[in-house]
């Protein structure tokens, strides 16, 4: 379920996100409550049967709704603010897509977070950027099977959040191996 603000709150937020110090402050929330994720999504409509879906999200208690809408405003009103699945009190700002990562999220991270961050100064951020660059460089929106498998292996090494419900790396590779052709982004 999407959650909305009234017009006065939104106008106040639109002004705040223009202030550099506020952007650094928002960067601090990302350090604690933000995540860069690349989901591996099974999709029968694409040639290899797997799609990589990059995403940035921040989850906060519902009292932080203005902060979440600050991210939405900051990133050109893209993305959504919605209730977290399974929780009535937690809201999540989410923005997805390779182009959104390239145009909004990565530049924000590089300017306001990475240099001051323990969490995102690591290889994980660099790996995320490299995957986004690789996905973005596919002018034909295709990628060879071997390249897709290498990217997926990199995603698995980045993730500390693989749970029992997640597909194993071997299962994902088997999905790809069963299919012929090219992957469409």
pLDDT digits (tens, 9 = 90+) for 1-12: 566 676 788 888
CATH of residue 171's domain is 3.10.28.10
Give the number of domains in the chain. 1
Q: What is d(CA 79, CA 58) in angstroms, rounded to the nearest whole number?
A: 11
Global confidence as pTM: 0.84
**Is residue 146 included in any domain, yes or no?**
yes
Exposure string for 34-58, b = 16+ CB within 10 A, e = fewer: bebbbebeeeeebbbbbbbebbbbb
**Is residue 2 included in any domain, yes or no?**
no
Structure tokens at 47: 């040639």
H or E stretch covering 34: strand 34-42
**Is residue 44 included in any domain, yes or no?**
yes
**Is residue 77 included in any domain, yes or no?**
yes
Host domain of residue 162 = 7-184
Q: What is d(CA 134, CA 183) in angstroms, rounded to the nearest whole number?
A: 13
Q: Pick the range with the lowest mean pLDDT from 55-69, 75-89, 150-164.
A: 150-164
**Is residue 159 included in any domain, yes or no?**
yes
Starting at the edge strand found earlier in the chain, the sheet holding 80-83 runs: 34-42, 50-61, 90-96, 80-83
Query: At a CB cut-off of 8 Å and minimum separation 6, what does 16 contact?
Result: 22, 70
**Is residue 1 included in any domain, yes or no?**
no
**Is residue 144 included in any domain, yes or no?**
yes
Structure tokens at 114: 């990475």
Confidence of residue 140 (pLDDT cuts 50, 70, 90): low
Q: For residue 184, is pLDDT > 60?
A: no
**Is residue 108 included in any domain, yes or no?**
yes
93 versus 168: the higher-pLDDT residue is: 93
Burial-class residue 139 by CB neighbours within 10 Å (0-12, 13-18, 19+): exposed
Crossing angle of helices 65-74 and 7-16, rounded to 10°: 60
- Percent of all residues in the chain with a pLDDT value above 90, rounded to a whole number: 45
Q: In Å, how far from its chain's centre is CA 147?
A: 21
């Amino acid at each position: 379920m999407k959650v909305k603000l009234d017009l006065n709150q939104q106008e106040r937020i639109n002004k705040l996100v223009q202030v550099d110090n506020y952007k650094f402050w928002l960067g601090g929330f990302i350090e604690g409550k933000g995540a860069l994720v690349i989901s591996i999504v099974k999709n029968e409509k694409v040639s290899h049967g797997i799609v990589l879906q990059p995403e940035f999200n921040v989850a906060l208690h519902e009292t932080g709704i203005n902060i979440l809408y600050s991210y939405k405003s900051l990133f050109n009103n893209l993305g959504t603010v919605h209730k977290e699945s399974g929780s009535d009190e937690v809201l999540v700002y989410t923005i997805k897509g390779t182009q959104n990562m390239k145009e909004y999220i990565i530049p924000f991270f590089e300017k306001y977070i990475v240099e001051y961050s323990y969490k995102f100064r690591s290889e994980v951020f660099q790996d995320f950027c490299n995957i986004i660059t690789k996905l973005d460089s596919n002018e034909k929106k295709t990628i060879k099977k071997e390249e897709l498998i290498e990217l997926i292996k990199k995603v698995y090494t980045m993730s500390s959040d693989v749970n029992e419900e997640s597909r194993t790396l071997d299962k994902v590779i088997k999905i790809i191996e069963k299919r012929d052709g090219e992957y469409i982004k």
